[in-house]
């Protein structure tokens, strides 16, 4: 091996002598390689790569399962442009403090097929979905017990389909490459939710003693049922979920940083927390600390950070998630809010009064928001009185949902549900009007992320379907 001293010695030679020395060194290395071609020291296997034969053991199958969990985390909240941030950017939780069109166009509701900055998350989500489906079959053959391992994969499979339906425009295909590539047909939002529900159902049959799989699947099932307007069924699905329950994603220095931290709080971040975006956006950011109007469910502080675009200064810092904080996939609070939304479907004042009282009990009784702290959060009770119309009651409930589940990948799905199920005008739900300075122009009309151009390789894919 050439060391630093020998390199310095070669550099002291004349150009002709140096050239000859390099040639001799190369010849010596080639001879050494030929002479050692059968040396076991050179025949090293990479322990990070699983060969097909490795899957045929319980240990290998479990390693495959862990890989799927990692892929799911990467897609959901494991990077700057993961699902939790990309959807928050299109919604009203954050805006792009960036110079790259891919993030700016989504923020401006002008989503396009070709997006080199954020298009990878669609691929990551499809990769996690296909990986889960493949690993389920392998575990069934090589490591059928404990059954909750397969249950977890069915749960994650359901969530990937749920997210593909909530985040991207209608028409997402679900292709399969397990035993040869089979191109998927384009699915409507209702159809993809139905498939997610079926996989959550299967997860529940395999949950066994795993509360994570049981309650996580019940919440996912309830969320998908809400997206197709089956509110009574959704409430039934989450009936036994404890209020303090949380399904986390895991982050560490050995895997991935928390995507919300990477996107909004790390250095010259690509995204910026926002309040009251585009007329309709909720006023998420209030005075930090204990000042009037502050809300403990929205933990943040001021800073002097500058965004990736230097035009964005004094970037707010969220403190819900640190660099390696667990992410939040689903919570017992969400289950409670699903039940309250189902209750409002009665469209009576008695129901509105009961829901208003329950929202105040949730505020004052305390519940976890997840992330950097596991402590319960309490918020002062509202004193305005129960709304007297169902539209106003839904507005209040969705604001409470947005605050309890801030930065957890729920907000875009909620806004789209207001348009799809409650028939709200999208321009009364999504940010609209003039773009946030220093950006010029006005918001577009997108209510979903456009399926990336790469999906055009699927002959069954013809672009986004009509609908919200």
Supply the pTM of this predicted model: 0.88
- Tokens 């397990």 -> residue: 178
The residue count for the chain: 468
- The closest alpha carbon to 217, from 208, 141, 417, belongs to 208
How far apart are alpha carbons 277 and 281 in whole angstroms? 4
Full pLDDT tens readout for the chain, 468 residues: 434 334 334 444 454 554 454 444 444 434 444 444 555 555 556 566 667 677 778 888 899 999 999 999 999 999 999 999 999 999 999 999 999 999 999 999 999 998 888 889 999 999 999 999 999 999 999 999 999 999 999 999 999 999 999 999 999 999 988 777 899 999 999 999 999 999 999 999 999 999 999 999 999 999 999 999 999 999 999 999 999 999 999 999 989 999 999 999 999 999 999 999 999 999 999 855 433 457 999 999 999 999 999 999 999 999 999 999 999 999 999 999 999 999 999 999 999 999 999 999 999 999 999 999 888 999 999 999 999 999 999 999 999 999 999 999 999 999 999 999 999 999 999 999 999 888 889 999 999 999 999 999 999 999 999 877
Model confidence pLDDT, tens digit, residues 353-392? 999 999 999 999 999 999 998 889 999 999 999 999 999 9
Residue partners of 81: CB distance under 8 A and separation at least 6: 103, 117, 118, 120, 121, 259, 263, 270
Phi–psi pair at 248, nearest 5 degrees: -100, 160
CATH for the 54-254+325-455 domain, from 2.40.160.10, 1.10.150.570, 3.40.50.300, 1.25.40.390: 1.25.40.390
How far apart are alpha carbons 432 and 277 in whole angstroms? 8
Q: Are 328 and 365 in contact (CB under 8 A)?
A: no
Residue partners of 362: CB distance under 8 A and separation at least 6: 243, 333, 336, 337, 400, 404
Beta bridge partner(s), residue 330: 247
Model confidence pLDDT, tens digit, residues 59-115? 888 999 999 999 999 999 999 999 999 999 999 999 999 999 999 999 999 999 988
CA-to-CA dists, residue 123 to 103, 114, 293, 390, angstroms: 16, 13, 40, 39
């Amino acid at each position: 091996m050439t060391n630093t001293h020998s390199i310095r010695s070669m550099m002291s030679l004349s150009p002709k002598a140096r050239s000859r020395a390099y040639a001799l060194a190369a010849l010596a290395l080639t001879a050494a390689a030929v002479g050692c071609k059968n040396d076991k020291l050179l025949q090293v296997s990479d322990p990070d790569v699983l060969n097909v034969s490795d899957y045929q053991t319980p240990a290998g199958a479990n390693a495959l399962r862990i890989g799927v969990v990692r892929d799911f985390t990467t897609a959901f909240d494991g990077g700057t442009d993961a699902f939790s941030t990309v959807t928050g950017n299109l919604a009203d939780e954050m805006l792009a403090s960036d110079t790259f069109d891919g993030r700016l166009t989504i923020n401006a509701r002008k989503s396009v097929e070709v997006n080199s900055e954020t298009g990878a998350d669609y691929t990551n989500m499809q990769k996690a979905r296909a990986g889960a489906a493949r690993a389920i079959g392998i575990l069934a053959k090589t490591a059928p017990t404990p059954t909750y391992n397969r249950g977890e994969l069915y749960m994650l499979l359901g969530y990937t389909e749920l997210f593909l339906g909530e985040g991207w425009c209608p028409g997402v295909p679900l292709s399969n490459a397990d035993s040869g590539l089979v191109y998927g047909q384009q699915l409507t939002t209702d159809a993809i939710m139905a498939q997610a529900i079926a996989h959550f159902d299967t997860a529940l049959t395999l949950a066994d003693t795993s509360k994570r799989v049981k309650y996580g699947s019940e919440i996912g099932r309830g969320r998908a049922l809400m997206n197709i307007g089956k509110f009574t069924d959704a409430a039934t699905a989450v009936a036994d979920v404890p209020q303090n329950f949380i399904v986390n994603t895991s982050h560490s220095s050995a895997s991935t940083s928390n995507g919300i931290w990477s996107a909004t709080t790390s250095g010259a971040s690509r995204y910026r927390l926002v309040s009251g975006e585009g007329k309709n956006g909720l006023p998420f950011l209030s005075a930090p600390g204990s000042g009037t109007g502050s809300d403990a469910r929205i933990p943040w502080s001021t800073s002097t950070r500058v965004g990736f675009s230097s035009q964005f200064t004094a970037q707010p810092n969220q403190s819900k998630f640190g660099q390696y904080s667990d992410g939040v996939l689903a919570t017992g609070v969400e289950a409670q809010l699903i039940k309250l939304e189902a209750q409002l479907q009665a469209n009576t004042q008695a129901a509105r009064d009961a829901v208003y009282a329950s929202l105040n009990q949730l505020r004052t009784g305390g519940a976890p928001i997840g992330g950097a702290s596991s402590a319960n959060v309490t918020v002062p009770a509202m004193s305005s009185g129960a709304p007297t119309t169902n539209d106003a009651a839904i507005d209040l409930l969705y604001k409470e949902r947005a605050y309890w589940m801030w930065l957890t990948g729920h907000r875009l799905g909620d806004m789209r549900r207001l348009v799809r199920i409650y028939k709200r005008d999208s321009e009364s739900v999504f940010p609209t009007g003039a773009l946030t300075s220093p950006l010029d122009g006005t918001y577009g009309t997108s209510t979903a992320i456009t399926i990336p151009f790469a999906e055009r390789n699927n002959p069954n894919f013809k672009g986004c379907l009509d609908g919200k």
